[in-house]
A and B are shown apart, each in its own frame.
Chain A
């Protein structure tokens, strides 16, 4: 079965740029979504179709996908961005999530 691999944790200083990676075989050939989940809350999509931002999501969130790696980038990270982030893709019509990355804002 298809697997997506994320680092368990990423730390970033407030105001700096955070990058969270998601790796999978030939991932660049699939569309990737990114979800943000804060404690006790349901997930929220922050990036879809590799790099599209839903309405209401701040411009500091961006995404890219090439080769075997997709990346979620948060520019000018704010304390409110501290959360778990999950990548997700479709493989042969089956949904796959990465294991999640806990983003800590120092």
Chain B
């Protein structure tokens, strides 16, 4: 079964750090681009960033709102995607989803999400 399971969310103070993990199973992880998408409570989806696959040298892209503070990495040997979150702001409070990209840029598999709350 193709599956993504996020973990690592929690409560953190403004200015703090957190690392989210996404465990992938049921497919060849190294073949796929992977994304992080977030959703504040009652709001829409916001694309956070993307990790390309090994064939594309694992390059990353980020939304302007998170660039320089959030960093995506991956470990293909363990089938894990990560989101390192630094200098967190209250506006980073959201459910964070990891998603697999299919061959045409569509996010065809999503995890169940992990909640990040940034508050003092």
CB of B64 within 8 Å of the partner chain? yes
From the candidates A48, A49, A86, name the one contacting B45 in the complex (CB within 8 A): A86
Interchain CA distance A88-B39 in the complex, whole Å: 14
B106 engages A33 (CB within 8 Å): yes
Determine the main DSSP class of A at the interface with B: strand
Judging by beta carbons under 8 Å apart, are B44 and A99 in contact? yes
Contacts of B63 in A (CB 8 A): 94-95
* Interface residue? B97 (CB, 8 A): yes
Interface size class of A (residues with CB under 8 A): 20 to 34
Q: Are B46 and A97 in contact (CB under 8 A)?
A: yes
Q: Which residues of B contact A45 (CB under 8 A)?
A: 102, 106-108
Most A-side CB within 10 Å, residue of B35, B45, B108, B112: B45
- Number of B interface residues in the complex (CB < 8 A): 21
Whether B106 contacts A48 by the Cβ 8 Å rule is yes
Determine the distance from Cα of A44 to Cα of B45 in the docked complex, in whole angstroms. 12
Known: A33-B107, A45-B108, A49-B104. A94 touches B47 (CB 8 A): yes
Determine how close the nearest CB of chain B comes to the CB of A99; give it in whole angstroms. Answer: 5
Residues of B within 8 A of A33 (CB): 105-107
- B residues within 8 A CB of A49? 104-106
Contact B50 A95 (CB under 8 A): yes
Q: Closest residue of chain A to B113, judged by CB?
A: A42
Contact string against A for B residues 28-43, beta-carbon threshold 8 Å, 1 for contact and 0 otherwise = 0000000101000000
A-B contact pairs, 23 of them (CB 8 A): A1-B64, A35-B107, A37-B45, A42-B97, A42-B111, A42-B112, A42-B113, A43-B37, A43-B97, A43-B107, A43-B110, A45-B106, A49-B106, A52-B104, A84-B44, A95-B37, A95-B47, A95-B50, A96-B47, A97-B44, A98-B44, A99-B44, A100-B44
Q: A48-B105, A95-B37, A97-B45 are in contact. List 13 more A-B contacts (CB 8 A).
A: A1-B64, A42-B110, A43-B97, A43-B107, A45-B102, A48-B104, A49-B106, A86-B45, A88-B107, A94-B47, A95-B63, A97-B37, A97-B46
